[in-house]
Structure 1
């Protein structure tokens, strides 16, 4: 059965952690299954605006809710120390009683200049290498065992992280990728879910989601459950129309629908709150 989540940026109208906690609580009361937040830190002056740290936002949201799943979607892992992120994830996983999902990707320097503004390299190929190693480091540290790791980008010597996450065998990891590039989806098939992005930032079509599902099945070596995310905007007022919009994605293999309530330039909080209160386009 498909699950439904609210998806918002962490800037502009969504840069207030207290407000985000309120919205998460209201989303839970309205029947949504998850609340996902972008992970940006900002950089270039061209896009300067109020921005919140997503991990503090997610912590506030965890304390204001009891049921819904929470996720950064997505954290650009190459600009993080994987051992620091591992600790943050474990702490938040325990705080939320096992409700955290970790969304990751290589990140981009195109708009917010979140690598170049801080003297970090910007090459996608390098970031892909770092992401693959960092994911392995995360999984090893979450095991609770002593970790020795020698990679091109990361090295660990007798590192132990306790406690282990509440969720086992690990906190679910969803990997983002721009379709139709195959490498990100080959990477995602190793983990627990995929957040496909279309070029030019338009929503993925049901046909594209079906192609993503086929690609994941080709590369996947496990029969464990795997999540495929779709996103878009539904009305909340026309139940049948919303179901007709979502059903082709379900048929194509999507397991989560992300409601983009404020992803564009318009962040009218009153309208966003109303959409949250109207609830998901459930059957």
Structure 2
């Protein structure tokens, strides 16, 4: 299983430096995050940070947890993604979701995009446009909220060693929602969240086993690689951290992303200290 880290707090320079530290200390992925107006959480533009991290690293996977597509234009996202993908030599992934209602940027968009259902509809439109954009187009899409007629994209993403010719997309999905999970299995991975659970409730190995079983039952065996991406906070004790990662890997998770969102404890110094201790099973 691969292990990544969210650089959640710090100056722009500190956050990019964390990508270098993550690579030097054996982590598999570095992630920023996508927010505009979230109380108590100063934020930077994720695409600018990703571009800077792309040219300062050589190995690790890069992304953001998670891109709020419904408040973005998918054709702009496609161009930003391909640019970072080429800067990084094909190391970008796209975790995507509907965005959180606590972000003032969600309330600022037109009223028809504010409800969860309508943001989910727009997410489906966005993903349909991205799918065609990554082929180079022309994009022909008549959706619930978006219409695109003939837009073309050049260049295309960097081809992957596994044969994929698009940037891997990991939708967030509420488990066991058929609609939400069904969206994810059409793509390259899932960032599962337990439906109705508290925001800070982490997935257990049994939860992951249930997600993996659902994916196997609903995704064609020859559909290509598929990631199950679990978020949480690694225990401070090295042995406990190693046990958690190994238990999730045994249940079928392919990624664990250490995600620390409490500004009182996830200070830049604390984040750097955790990064420098390395991934727990290294």
Common fold, TM-score beyond 0.5? Answer: yes
3-state secondary structure, aligned to 2:198:
helix
What is the match of residue 232 of structure 1?
A: 232
Distance 1:173 1:124, change over 3 A: same
Deviations 1:66-123 (A, max 9, x none): 11000112111111111010111011100111010011111121x2232213444311
Measured in 1, the distance between the counterparts of 2:75 and 2:179 equals 24
Measured in 1, the distance between the counterparts of 2:176 and 2:50 equals 30
Q: Does 1:276 align with 2:275?
A: yes
Measured in 1, the distance between the counterparts of 2:142 and 2:221 equals 26
What is the match of residue 37 of structure 2?
A: 42
What is the match of residue 19 of structure 2?
A: 24
Q: Choose which of 80, 86, 91 in structure 2 pairs with 1:99.
A: 91
Deviations 1:127-162 (A, max 9, x none): 111111211110101101322222222212221100
Q: Does 1:193 align with 2:189?
A: yes
Deviation at 1:200, TM superposition (A): 1.1
Deviation at 1:232, TM superposition (A): 2.8
Distance 1:274 1:112, change over 3 A: same
Which ranges of structure 1 fall in alignment gaps of 5 or more residues? none
C-alpha root-mean-square deviation of aligned residues, in Å? Answer: 1.8
What is the match of residue 126 of structure 2?
A: 134
Measured in 2, the distance between the counterparts of 1:204 and 1:246 equals 12
Aligned length: 272
Measured in 2, the distance between the counterparts of 1:79 and 1:86 equals 14
Map 1:115-264 → 2, pairs under 5 A: 115-120=106-111, 121-167=113-159, 168-198=164-194, 199-201=197-199, 202-223=201-222, 224-235=224-235, 238=238, 240-260=239-259, 262-264=260-262
Measured in 1, the distance between the counterparts of 2:249 and 2:137 equals 39
3-state secondary structure, aligned to 1:115:
helix
3-state secondary structure, aligned to 1:114:
helix
Measured in 2, the distance between the counterparts of 1:103 and 1:128 equals 15
Q: Does 1:113 align with 2:100?
A: no
Which ranges of structure 2 fall in alignment gaps of 5 or more residues? none
